[in-house]
């Protein structure tokens, strides 16, 4: 008998939960954002780390974040920073010149409009420079522990491969996942899919032999890769 979509979602979430729930966020196989969150518990650093992570590999995000926060760890400090020094510190990430200017700008807006604090609502976050839906949702989840669905490349690819959703853009994915993932899991979904995407369901050459979802994964069935 075919498995229902709800049952597939349940199987995926419980398997990922067994793998990653309670995993050490400071372990080497963790993600840059989980580490920043665990080490600092600072929504400002989560916001800046997420902006740095845009179109950048996780490892480079972490290097750049550490170099940046060693000197500029508050909106006030970053708002006054020498942009060339910021560029030098964040050079490992993509578009570092543009991002250096935007980091200063976002820090200034935080000071001018939010009293130096990072807002905790989607509506306010999305108004900040260089902040789109994924970054806003990352701040809500990692910075404030609120239920939101940040959709990055892993969160978009994996549920589509599994056949849980059929979407073309991250925006569609966010809406589709919101319909099928129980709300209590939202705070975990990004971290779990990112880790699973780095370790098992890689963008190229997924390790299907190490995956427990081959019995219903659409990608595996269609391509028979492993």
Q: Which is nearer to ligand SF4, 104 or 161 (CB)?
A: 161
Name the minimum Å distance from CB 7 to ligand SF4: 16
By residue count, the chain amounts to 226
Nearest to 38 by CA among 25, 23, 47: 25
Angle at 119 between CA 144 and CA 93, to 5 degrees: 80
Which of positions 87-116 make contact with ligand SF4 (CB under 6 A)? none
Distance of CA 10 to the CA centre of its chain: 22
Q: Using CB under 6 A, which of 44, 69, 192, 219 touches ligand SF4?
A: 219
> Is 206 among the residues that bind ligand SF4 (CB under 6 A)?
yes
164 close to 138: Cβ distance less than 8 angstroms: no
Q: Residues 155-174: x/- map of binding to ligand SF4 (CB under 6 A)?
A: ------xx------------
Q: Any idea what DSSP says for residue 141?
A: I
Options 50-58, 72-80, 181-189, 211-219: segment touching ligand SF4 (CB under 6 A): 211-219
Which CB contacts under 8 angstroms, 24+ apart, belong to 65-68? 65/32, 65/36, 67/92, 68/103
> Is 201 among the residues that bind ligand SF4 (CB under 6 A)?
yes
> Is 20 among the residues that bind ligand SF4 (CB under 6 A)?
no
Which chain residues interact with ligand SF4 by CB under 6 A?
161-162, 200-201, 206-208, 211, 213-214, 217, 219-220
């Amino acid at each position: 008998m075919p498995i229902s979509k709800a049952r597939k979602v349940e199987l995926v979430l419980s398997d990922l939960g067994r793998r990653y729930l309670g995993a050490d966020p400071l372990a080497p196989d963790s993600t840059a954002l989980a580490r920043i969150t665990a080490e600092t518990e600072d929504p400002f650093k989560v916001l800046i780390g997420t902006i740095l992570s845009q179109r950048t590999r996780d490892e480079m995000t972490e290097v750049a974040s550490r170099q940046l926060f060693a000197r500029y760890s508050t909106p006030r400090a970053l708002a006054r920073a020498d942009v060339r020094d910021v560029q030098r510190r964040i050079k490992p990430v993509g578009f570092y010149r543009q991002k250096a200017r935007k980091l200063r700008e976002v820090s200034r807006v935080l000071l001018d409009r939010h009293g130096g604090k990072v807002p905790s609502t989607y509506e306010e976050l999305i108004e900040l420079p260089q902040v789109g839906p994924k970054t806003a949702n990352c701040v809500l989840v990692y910075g404030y522990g609120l239920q939101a669905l940040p959709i990055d490349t892993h969160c978009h690819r994996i549920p589509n491969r599994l056949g849980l959703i059929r979407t073309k853009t991250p925006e569609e994915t966010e809406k589709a996942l919101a319909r099928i993932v129980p709300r209590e899991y939202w705070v975990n979904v990004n971290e779990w899919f990112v880790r699973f995407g780095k370790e098992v369901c890689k963008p190229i050459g997924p390790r299907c032999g190490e995956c427990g979802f081959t019995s219903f994964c659409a990608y595996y069935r269609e391509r028979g890769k492993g």
